[in-house]
Amino acid sequence: MIHPTAIIHPGAKISASCNIGAYCVIGENVILGDHCKLHSQVVIDGHTHIGNENEFFPFTAIGLKTQDLKWKGGVTRTRIGDQNVFREGVTVHSATSNGDATVIGNGNLFLTHVHIAHDCQLGNGIIMSGFVGLAGHVVVEDFATLGGYTAVHQFCRIGTRCMTGGCSRLPQDVAPYTIVEGNPAVARAINKVGLERAGFSAAAQSALRSAYKIIFREDLSTADALKKVEAELPPLPEVNHLVQFIRTSERGVCK
């Protein structure tokens, strides 16, 4: 189902089950998987590979050239998985360096005018509210939730099951399982409701609350706090992930 006003390059590879609405434009090197829906006035260009059952609302622009001034040419890519929803005005830019890719996983929801810049790496089950902006090279782990107008600095990492308050400015990494808010953002609490809704065990929730108090509320250096967590708390996968995330942070975490 392709609207007669849509412009599709003959080199594009489009599944016969796709629904492409009015005034959409699809470039030569685009691959669209099964059952994708482009409502209207959607632009997909560049070397862009999109999986199955993705939905694109009007005025989304996917896979276009990076805005990074370091771009020197070459083939850069955008890869998108399955069952993602891109609401009105969302932009996703291709990578900057030859051979690199901007990558988005599966089952994510991007609300109006979200911006995902070059070389970002996004996991699965992420929710980004309206006008969230990711600068280049940002990593977002699975099931993170970013409140409206959150602004993320280049090279930051957003941990799994975290939540950011609306209008937060993130100049540093956000630790997994935490809630951060502010300008600049600071850690406010463990994401208790998010953990409960996700079905985390009582033991995991209790250990994460204790780890949060040690790392973010006790007057310890980060290195000493992580050592204390490892010494005093059970080595559950959630605790280990929190510790390793913070230990490997290059920008430091919002505290």
| Given the residues 136, 147, 148, 159, the one annotated as active site | 136
Known catalytic residue: 119? yes
- Cα separation of the two ends of the chain: 51
**Is the torsion defined by CA of 228, 232, 235, 239 positive or negative?**
negative
DSSP string, 179-218: EEEETTEEEEEE-HHHHHHTT--HHHHHHHHHHHIIIIIS
Asked if 45 and 63 touch (Cβ cutoff 8 Å), the reply is yes
Known catalytic residue: 136? yes
Known catalytic residue: 21? no
Asked if 254 and 174 touch (Cβ cutoff 8 Å), the reply is yes
Rounded Cα–Cα distance for residues 232 and 198 (Å): 25
Which pair of tokens denotes residue 106?
């599966």
Asked if 178 and 194 touch (Cβ cutoff 8 Å), the reply is no
| Given the residues 27, 119, 147, 159, the one annotated as active site | 119
Which pair of tokens denotes residue 52?
């199955």
Which pair of tokens denotes residue 141?
């782990």
| Given the residues 47, 118, 137, 241, the one annotated as active site | 118
Asked if 143 and 125 touch (Cβ cutoff 8 Å), the reply is yes
Active site members: 118-119, 136
